[in-house]
């Protein structure tokens, strides 16, 4: 399974959106260089309030550009970085990947997938009604989260738009993604 990087984004300050950049650098065990969410321990404000010593399983936020296409069809205009993701991809079904999948981004960087992003009410503050588009329920009533995946950096390196994304699945049995 292969795809490509559409955009890369980072922000050194807490903000819902992250500006697009010409490139970002991933740092092994930390996340995106200069990004407010980089670190060994959790940096998301809600997680810090719960337990600031817990490991940061959300070092890198990846989102599939296909979601933006779906949102556009529903009347929402969303651009890469606007939902807070660091890496926007196309051509890889991120939500279908199992825990432990390795995403090779560009020539050197490797991100290990840890789980699903759990979208919060800030999404509705960005665009009213958007939260219902990225979180819903399937036919059985189970919650479906579509706002991307989270991962930790296993190998650092630079990433730029246009770089390849290749997928290495973990050994079976595969564990489905859950919120992290």
Looking at the DSSP bridge assignments, the partners of residue 55 are 41
Domain boundaries, the chain: 2-168
Distance CA(148)–CA(20), nearest Å, equals: 17
Going along the chain, which residue ranges are E strands? 2-9, 20-21, 24-27, 31-32, 60-64, 87-90, 102-105, 109-116, 135-137, 143-145, 149-155, 157-159, 164-168
Sorted by sequence, the CB contacts under 8 Å of residue 96 that are 6+ apart come out as none
Q: Based on C-alpha coordinates, what's the Rg of the chain? A: 15
Local confidence pLDDT in tens for the 180 residues of the chain: 899 999 999 999 999 999 999 999 999 999 999 999 999 999 988 888 899 999 999 999 999 999 999 999 999 999 999 999 999 999 999 999 999 999 999 999 999 999 999 988 889 999 999 999 999 999 999 999 999 999 999 999 999 999 999 999 999 999 999 999
Contact 101, 93 (CB under 8 A): no
CATH of domain 2-168: 2.40.33.20
Q: What is the dihedral of CA 168, 170, 173, 174, to 10 degrees?
A: -70
Supply the pTM of this predicted model. 0.96
Q: Which sign does the torsion angle of CA 90, 103, 19, 132 carry?
A: positive
Residue 128 backbone phi and psi in degrees, to 5: -55, 135
Position 48 scores a pLDDT of: 87
């Amino acid at each position: 399974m292969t795809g490509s990087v559409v955009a890369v984004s980072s922000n050194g300050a807490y903000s819902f959106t992250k500006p697009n950049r010409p490139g970002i650098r991933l740092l092994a065990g930390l996340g995106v260089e200069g990004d407010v969410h980089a670190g060994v321990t959790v940096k998301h404000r809600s997680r810090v309030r719960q337990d600031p010593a817990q490991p940061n399983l959300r070092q890198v936020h990846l989102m599939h550009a296909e979601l933006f296409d779906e949102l556009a069809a529903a009347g929402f205009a969303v651009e890469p970085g606007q939902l807070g993701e660091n890496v926007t991809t196309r051509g890889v079904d991120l939500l279908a990947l199992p825990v432990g999948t390795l995403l090779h981004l560009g020539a050197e960087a490797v991100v290990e997938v840890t789980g699903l992003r759990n979208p919060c009410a800030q999404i509705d503050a960005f665009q009213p009604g958007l939260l219902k588009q990225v979180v819903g329920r399937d036919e059985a009533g189970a919650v479906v989260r579509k706002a991307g995946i989270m991962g930790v950096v296993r190998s650092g390196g630079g990433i730029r738009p246009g770089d390849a994304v290749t997928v290495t699945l973990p050994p079976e049995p595969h564990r489905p993604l859950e919120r992290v």
